[in-house]
Amino acid sequence: MFYGSITALITPFKDGEIDWSAYENLIEWQIENGTHGLVPCGTTGESPTLSHEEHLAILKRCVDVVKGRIPVIAGTGSNNTSEALSMTKYAKEIGADAALIVTPYYNKPTQDGMFAHYATLHNEANFPIVIYNIPGRSVVDMSVETMTKLAKLPNIIGVKDAAGDLSRPLQTRHAIGPDFCQLSGDDITAAAFLAQGGVGCVSVVSNIAPKESADMQNAWRSGDMETFNTLRDKLLPLARDLFCESNPAPVKYAAQTLGICSDEVRLPLIPASKQAREKVDAALAFAGIKVGASARAA
């Protein structure tokens, strides 16, 4: 089962192209600082503006650099079931550990349609799947009842829950059981999610605070509530203000501040505004993260 601080990796860009050196350095820095897993090509990785070829290349590079040291959960979702299946089979082929598959966006499928989408991927890919439920971006919200039906399929192993409802993990645990891997999809709920039956967080904050994010999760698992509470409070402003504008513009600004990569994003996103940068600067200072703190300067 996956657990702990799982980083939803940013995709570094330089002059419109993928900055492979910065990407590889970011992965190594994550591993060195105790991150428990990586998610390449999620929303934070700007998957909507990656070409198909770029998407596949990023997945492979992540798996190749990690070399099995920590789990890689490949972002392979699409609102086109055939495309999601192709990418999921590719993730299996290159040696990823699981696929993170978002609920189909824009199409607005029914609960039965979502069940059919995931059941098809399950049956034809034969690969562990983590459901990504994020109604704010996908419009549709997978119900606990639909998730319970899907969890009966052996390779539907968990959920990244970004529904923003802290009663959801408790309801899901009650309906499915403790072996279903529940990961928070929102940094702002990462701590509370654990108390409601979750086992970790797919995190944006951990791109720029990997040690603190991992240490907080470790403290919970070991029962060290003093450390857990201290880190929870320390990371709160980052969990809030890295989302003050559209993700990943603020976290890419933070990454630039730390010397990880440039703050370049692809249209229709634009770099963080002056007001957003000021909020991020204050959040970094509150967390005690200093400019240039990354040992992996781009």
Is residue 36 scored above 70 in pLDDT? Answer: yes
pLDDT band, very low/low/confident/very high, at 292 (cuts 50, 70, 90)? low
> Is residue 26 one of the residues assigned to a domain?
yes
| Closest to 204 measured CA to CA, from 10, 52, 4 | 10
pLDDT digits 0-9 by tens, 257-287: 999 999 999 999 999 999 999 999 999 999 9
The catalytic residues are 132, 160
Rounded to two decimals, what is the model's pTM? 0.96
pLDDT digits 0-9 by tens, 96-130: 999 999 999 999 999 999 999 999 999 999 999 99
Element (H, E) at 255: helix 249-257
What distance in Å separates the CA atoms of residue 296 and residue 24, rounded to the nearest whole number? 9
**CA-based Rg of the chain, rounded to a whole angstrom?**
18
Domains: count for the chain: 1
> Is residue 239 one of the residues assigned to a domain?
no
What distance in Å separates the CA atoms of residue 60 and residue 67, rounded to the nearest whole number? 11
Mean pLDDT, the chain, whole residue set:
96
Element (H, E) at 257: helix 249-257
Cis peptide before 135 (omega within 30 of 0): no
CATH classification at residue 172: 3.20.20.70
pLDDT digits 0-9 by tens, 190-199: 999 999 999 9
> Is residue 260 one of the residues assigned to a domain?
no
> Is residue 42 one of the residues assigned to a domain?
yes
Give me the domain span that covers residue 144: 4-233
> Is residue 118 one of the residues assigned to a domain?
yes
What distance in Å separates the CA atoms of residue 109 and residue 260, rounded to the nearest whole number? 39
> Is residue 172 one of the residues assigned to a domain?
yes
> Is residue 293 one of the residues assigned to a domain?
no
- Tokens matching residue 87: 């990418």
Q: 3-class SS at 259?
A: coil
Q: What is the mean pLDDT of residues 16-41?
A: 98
The amino acid at 276: A
Is residue 19 scored above 50 in pLDDT? Answer: yes
Helices and strands per DSSP (H, E), number in the chain? 12, 10
Position with higher pLDDT, 1 vs 184: 184
Is residue 161 scored above 70 in pLDDT? Answer: yes
Q: Are strands 13-14 and 17-18 parallel, antiparallel or unpaired?
A: antiparallel
Q: Is 112 exposed, middle or buried (0-12, 13-18, 19+ CB in 10 A)?
A: exposed
